[in-house]
Structure 1
């Protein structure tokens, strides 16, 4: 067996000085501060969600307030108008997280004073990311103004009434971290206002998110709250009744396996429901990018449901790298036997769905939008893949439930997830799980098994299923199983789950063709005492690739050094050849020293030799809502941004290039 180390490729297309960030609207370099982070997200929302032209927006715009000059964080001007104070239409004030909206100098009052100074300005937005206020300026009939809090400001070409109760054509796919901000606002509001524990608040929020998703799939949108329902406790009861009806008729009937009998009611006060709906009603969750939804959802899940059994969710960039290398196809059965909240599985599922989407759209007369018949066929193929090919197991019932919800929010596929101990005998799983997930039947496995020194498996009945749960001795330089007097292998007293998961994954795969991508602690790969694990692997698996991941991958939550290991289960003939040392093949190997964040979880950006940030421009295909038909369409958007210092995508590209060179 030979190995080949392939270095990643870095492409620099521009530079940004250290401590600076390129302003989204102007491209000018500005200081990279917590307040700037909030403003950049809002700028992206104004252009990508609210559809205002970047040329009609201006950051740090100076206005005259009385005898003094002030700078508004962002001003949206009337379409095509000169950038003058009298042409201001929307004023935006962004603050760092933690700034109080009642602060005398930086709160909502500051925004109101700016609106009063701009006579023709009609709307304002104040946000610190975690809180957001939308303000409308109204003439009071006496030459002055009053200010009214509204649900949302109008998008480009939209009336205020349409913004307060959006139609399908008005829904906006989320961008950047704006959906994360909205989820966080809702969760914190529920926890703070209702006095619920964080986990309780999380489940109630998910009920409303489910209602939102199912409402988007309906012809008529009923997921909305009016301004009077938002501001009046009495009228808020109507909003809660409407959302409760969506939940009962569209969610519970469809997802009875997710919601227990005790979950039939949204257990929140009417004003709280009204607030949550107001924060979410303008988004199209179905059309929002997978990663945008995934980051928002998994942060909320992680802060509430992460357990104490070594459950550390796989970072999205590591999932993408592994899935790109594994390349699961639409006709292949996919499984994650330790699925957690479903992030790894969703990445793999959407990779296969991408194949389906491209194949179908290539046959459409107009690839950006299909006829009803063309869309129906795409939906049929997608649904067939969800129901027949996508599977997941996890021991933690709360995580399985959260994973099912995550799957629904990210294209569905929730029917193939079950609560089960993947390491137990499959006969002990539920009848449906054991019939759908039999040993030797899976084409692709993606997994980040739980690992840690505090969890061991010591059940004799469970251990006896595994070669790697037996005692092994090194005799004449070769590892062999220790046999008892009756000739049967001798079991160890216990074994860490990550070792048993390796063997269980191989047992589940189809002999000869089934392949996997698994996160494995480096101790398994280099600890001399665990040489028997490596021997067993080499006799049962063709290693395709090993990527040594940076120690920071799971930090700050976990400090374990890991590798991503890819392989294929050997056929019976290949196993015999491997046992005789006659199976020779090359192995792709790489070291990923930079994975996009430091040990504290802070994002790191690529820099030139002189210390300046690297920027990159790319064309991104995004989903959008056709304002005329309300249907989802695809658009190409040019994105220019700082390049995260992450080598994992380069590793995947190098692997595919290397794989193409092999016989």
Structure 2
């Protein structure tokens, strides 16, 4: 019996198939004697059993041959009559090609049943959405159409499906580089924040993914920053942190590959054996959420809010350590006016806002001196040698919290082209700094920064005093230090009668520690609780400060500045250490006092942005919102 005899009363045609494929199928037909007479059969190479040939089965078998011969898919990667679940109801998809990496997950769903295109497409959509398959094919032997499932509500027609050794990306040949991302950046076009996008990701997948949300988002931002930088510097043709039509498992394989490259180039942030814990499907949702966000901008402030949320979510706030708003940092940097030859340290660096913004401020001065114009991708640009020398030798950060040190190191490495002097140490417990050098893992990560820091000691072999030009810090102002061993190393650990106290506020000891880090004539900006400036019980602290340095300014911050984490009222203290030449000691001098006249946040801690007359948000020259 011939194929034409079987098809003669049906709507199916075979014009989509090659002559040799039809001949192969026809040559394998045999007859079986049934009660109703003889019937044509074929041995299905997928099911490995004899199947009665119907018009629909002929098209299906020809499609199996075509997938094997033209697309090189092996028969063991195909399934026929694949069960698709719809609640308690079950349906069957004609042909399913399973995923290469996850062989239990459907990759392409193929339907050959319906002679009417519309009905076939609706059935395909339901099968794809239920199984998560990336592509769908409908064919009746005469017409074949291919679709890419971009989301449950949108199936995009595509010219073909990929072969065994291809991905959908090869078929689509889409191109998307950093310039395309600048135009599409949803932070600008949709006026969204990265923090809100991460909150949406949490609601959609992360909260129920069984992973450490901080760690996985940290990895994704790390990978995406690396990808943007590579493309900005023309090391890649297209951005790779993007789903170009890959299956979930193909996408995860690609993202993991970028992660390995990034870990190798930016070492000391993740362990060598660290992997992405998100499942392929969860990762796919996260990549889709982040792929149209441009993380690199003029000063990396895009990711500040996101990391503040993530780190505080991990209980950083319980230690009274809150991320300093970038407008407060910018004020301090401008008032201290750092220069290219000067050294700077933040002794409670958190995510390193003070060091990074100091770097940017000095870089702008360097670039202006060299006649180079900064771009809107300032942080992704290849840096000049003078700029690199500055970040490599002059800027330091110390923090005792490992999570925030990793965030800080990432931002510093990216800003500084692989250089960072951010160290995981307890600033107050300087007597035990040398113990870190006995830890091999610590030395592998922090050796270069530690070596540079030691050069700035005031006395060789001792870690109490240093010769920094500037200190900028927002030390923790919750919790007390109770260890007598530490308290006995500080003058401010004593009572007014000279006896040592049993406990002292962290921020009080940080005042003395910061001043010890400064050389004579050095400048300091530090955020302190308002009570230190006016509580009668803190008079000895104010006397200590006045004895050591000249008070240049006190700037009162609004009570909402650190909300929603705390409503503690704070002020910025700016001083200069007495020096015979740079700052001769005197008893009577002017002090600059100022207070914030407008809140930067509302009572719930949400930022208040500058508005235009029509009520829309005003943007700066980089198209960023203005607080």
Q: Normalization by structure 2: what TM-score?
A: 0.62
Equivalent residue number for residue 191 of structure 1? 206
* 1:277 paired to 2:287: yes
- Structure 1 residue 587: Cα displacement: 0.8
**How much does 1:394 deviate?**
0.6
TM value normalised by structure 1: 0.59
**Cα distance change on mapping 1:607 and 1:244 into 2, 3 Å:** closer
Match of 2:409 in 1: 404
Per the alignment, residue 392 of structure 2 pairs with 387
Change (3 A) 1:457 1:267: same
Partners of 1:379 and 1:305 lie apart in 2 by 39
Whole-Å separation in 2 of the counterparts to 1:161 and 1:355: 48
- Whether the 8 Å contact between 2:473 and 2:526 is mirrored in structure 1 is yes
Unaligned runs of at least 5 residues, structure 2? 1-138, 157-169, 376-380, 438-446, 458-464
Of 430, 435, 441 in structure 1, the residue corresponding to residue 454 of structure 2 is: 435
Query: Which residue pairs with 1:243 in the alignment?
Result: 255
Equivalent residues of 1:517, 1:565 under 8 A apart? yes
Residue 531 of structure 1 and its aligned partner are, at CA, apart by 0.8
Q: Following the alignment from structure 1 to structure 2, what is the Cα–Cα distance between the partners of residues 504 and 269?
A: 46
Alpha-carbon distance in 1 for matches of 2:421, 2:353: 15
Deviations along 1:464-485, one digit per CA (max 9) or x if unpaired, are 2221112214xxxxxxxx3xxx
3-state DSSP of counterpart to 1:253: helix
Query: Following the alignment from structure 1 to structure 2, what is the Cα–Cα distance between the partners of residues 313 and 460?
Result: 29
RMSD: 4.0
Q: Deviations over 1:357-396 (max 9, x none)?
A: 3223x2x5xx478xxxxx87x4222221221112111111
Instruction: Report SS of the residue matched to 1:551.
Output: coil
Q: Does 1:177 align with 2:192?
A: yes
CA contact (8 A) 1:210 1:247 kept: no
- Matches of 1:528 and 1:336, distance apart in 2: 29
Change (3 A) 1:426 1:210: farther
Aligned equivalents of 2:311 and 2:240: distance in 1?
23
Structure 1 CA distance for aligned equivalents of residues 481 and 390 of structure 2 = 34
Give the 5 Å matches for 1:297-312. Answer: 297-304=307-314, 306-312=316-322
SS in 2 for 1:511: strand
Greater relative contact order (Cα < 8 A, sep 6+): 1
The correspondence of residues 141-540 of structure 1 with structure 2, limited to 5 A, is 148-149=149-150, 164-172=174-182, 174-175=187-188, 176-192=191-207, 194-209=209-224, 211-213=226-228, 215-216=230-231, 217=233, 219-220=235-236, 221=238, 223-229=240-246, 235-248=247-260, 250-263=261-274, 265-287=275-297, 289-304=299-314, 306-360=316-370, 362=371, 367=373, 378-410=383-415, 415-425=420-430, 428-429=433-434, 430-431=436-437, 432=447, 433=450, 435=454, 438=457, 439-452=465-478, 455-473=479-497, 482=498, 490-512=499-521, 514-540=522-548
**Does the C-alpha gap of structure 1 residues 289 and 183 become closer, same or farther in structure 2, counting only changes over 3 Å?**
farther
SS of the counterpart of 1:586? coil
Question: Matched residues in 1 for 2:210 and 2:391: separation?
Answer: 38
Larger Rg: 2
> Is the contact between residue 552 and residue 575 of structure 2 (CA under 8 Å) also seen in structure 1?
yes
Q: 3-state DSSP class of the match of 2:519?
A: coil
Who is 2:131 aligned against? none
SS of 2:468's partner is: coil
1:509 offset after TM fit, Å?
A: 0.8
Q: Which runs of 5+ in 1 are unaligned?
A: 1-139, 155-159, 230-234, 370-374, 474-481, 483-489, 623-636, 645-663
String of CA shifts for 1:10-34, please: whole Å, max 9, x gaps.
xxxxxxxxxxxxxxxxxxxxxxxxx
